[in-house]
């Protein structure tokens, strides 16, 4: 008989309770579902909780994260999607992100049009949070970045005081403006929900003027507290965005963690979503997996694949995506650990 210390038995028992809660079947799609019930075994739960979100290896993605719950990712196209965000979604999938969590559950598409009401996106995100236990992430290209930022301001109550929950499967709003928080069981309004990670690629002020999007002009570079982390990517010379040698940085209005990344001159506004091949080339894939934002980032390889101009933002976004994938999955496991009984 193997004798384990008391603390080890307590840890195993807690993980077993958390696992049982994840495996509890949820209600069918409805007004107030039992939320976030995703099967995960005790071994994976233990390994997940041991991960450092700031240092996730490719092996840990393959062996731990892909066996854990994952937030949805909403990839938003530009206003004239000559190249839409589907190739970037394919990059994320090739790097190991679950394809089902990238596809639009209504249409099956890998990206979302930016010709959409930001309140509707906010309501859809609230629905997913309630049903899946994890708030989706947002990645927007050009106008899609503007929509992502507007969603943050909608959730902050900048435009309206309440937002209806939107059912993405039926594509209709529900007759309520609050959700049952899957982590606590308490009811809370859609306004005030926090998005774990948001990225905006080449989102400029000039198109907002040309398209008459006046309400966003004073808000475009202000990131409210409804984003936990935001990264803005810009080109110094980008006539489409209205940049002519200077980049107007994003700024946090409160506690949001905001980073600004200037892209290399070889990058092009239109082709920024083309990143799939970077995940398929062994050299660039290895560089992406070793990339960490900041001064310790590895030098860009000289023998890079096609579309290497997109290497920096692809690596930076993948770093943040897997970081917040880990954080959100750990949060969900810990919530079930504390409250193993199904929420009613």
Specify which residues 231 forms β-bridges with.
Answer: 199, 259
Q: How confident is the model at residue 49, as a pLDDT?
A: 96
Conformation bin of residue 294: beta by default, left when phi > 0, alpha when psi is -120 to 50: left
The pTM is what?
0.88
* Mean pLDDT (10-residue bins), the chain, 344 residues: 40 40 35 48 92 97 96 95 94 98 94 95 98 97 97 98 96 96 95 98 88 88 98 96 93 97 94 95 93 81 70 97 98 79 41
Task: Write the pLDDT tens digit of every residue in 141-187.
Answer: 999 999 999 999 999 999 999 999 999 999 999 999 999 999 999 99
Taken as a whole, the chain contains a residue count of 344
**Of 45, 50, 44, 101, residue with least CA distance to 71:** 101
Domains of the chain with CATH codes: 72-326 (3.40.50.1820)
Tell me which DSSP letter residue 268 carries. -
Q: How confident is the model at residue 248, as a pLDDT?
A: 93
Tell me which DSSP letter residue 77 carries. P
Contact 40, 67 (CB under 8 A): yes
Contact 275, 310 (CB under 8 A): yes
Give the C-alpha separation, 213 to 238, whole Å: 19
Give the C-alpha separation, 197 to 233, whole Å: 14
Helices (H), the chain: 6-23, 42-50, 58-63, 86-95, 118-132, 143-155, 206-210, 276-280, 282-290, 311-338
Task: Write the pLDDT tens digit of every residue in 47-70.
Answer: 999 999 999 999 999 999 999 999
Q: How confident is the model at residue 174, as a pLDDT?
A: 97
DSSP collapsed to 3 states, 269-317: CCCCCCCHHHHHCHHHHHHHHHCCCCCCCCCCCCCCCCCHHHHHHHHHH
CA dihedral 153, 154, 157, 159 (to 10 degrees): 100
């Amino acid at each position: 008989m193997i004798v384990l210390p008391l603390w080890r038995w307590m840890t195993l028992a807690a993980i077993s309770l958390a696992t049982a809660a994840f495996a509890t079947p949820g209600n069918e799609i409805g007004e107030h579902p039992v939320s976030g019930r995703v099967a995960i075994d005790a071994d994976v739960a233990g390994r997940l909780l041991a991960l450092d979100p700031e240092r996730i290896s490719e092996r840990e993605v393959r062996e731990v994260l892909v066996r854990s719950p994952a937030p949805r990712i909403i990839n938003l196209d530009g206003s004239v999607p000559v190249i839409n965000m589907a190739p970037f979604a394919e990059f994320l999938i090739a790097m190991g992100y679950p394809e089902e969590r990238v596809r639009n559950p209504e249409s099956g598409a890998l990206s979302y049009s930016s010709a959409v009401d930001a309140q509707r996106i906010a309501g859809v995100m609230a629905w997913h949070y309630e049903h899946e236990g994890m708030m989706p992430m947002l990645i927007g290209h050009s106008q899609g970045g503007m929509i992502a930022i507007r969603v943050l301001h909608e959730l902050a109550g900048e435009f309206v005081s309440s937002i209806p929950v939107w059912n993405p499967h039926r594509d209709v709003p529900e007759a309520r403006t609050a959700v049952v928080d899957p982590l606590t069981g308490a009811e809370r309004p859609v306004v005030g929900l926090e998005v774990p990670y948001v990225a905006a690629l080449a989102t400029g002020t000039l198109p907002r003027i040309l398209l008459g999007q006046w309400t966003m002009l004073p808000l475009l570079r202000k990131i409210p507290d409804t984003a936990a982390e935001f990264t803005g990517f810009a080109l110094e010379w980008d006539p489409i965005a209205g940049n002519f040698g200077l980049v107007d940085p994003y700024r946090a209005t409160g506690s949001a963690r905001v980073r600004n990344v200037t892209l290399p001159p070889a990058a092009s506004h239109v082709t920024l979503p083309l990143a799939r091949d970077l995940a398929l080339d062994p050299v660039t894939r290895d560089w992406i997996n070793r990339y960490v934002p900041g001064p310790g980032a590895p030098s860009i390889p000289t023998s890079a694949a096609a579309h290497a101009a997109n290497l920096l933002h692809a690596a930076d976004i993948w770093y943040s995506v897997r970081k917040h994938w880990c954080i959100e999955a750990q949060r969900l496991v810990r919530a079930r650990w504390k409250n193993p009984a199904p929420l009613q």
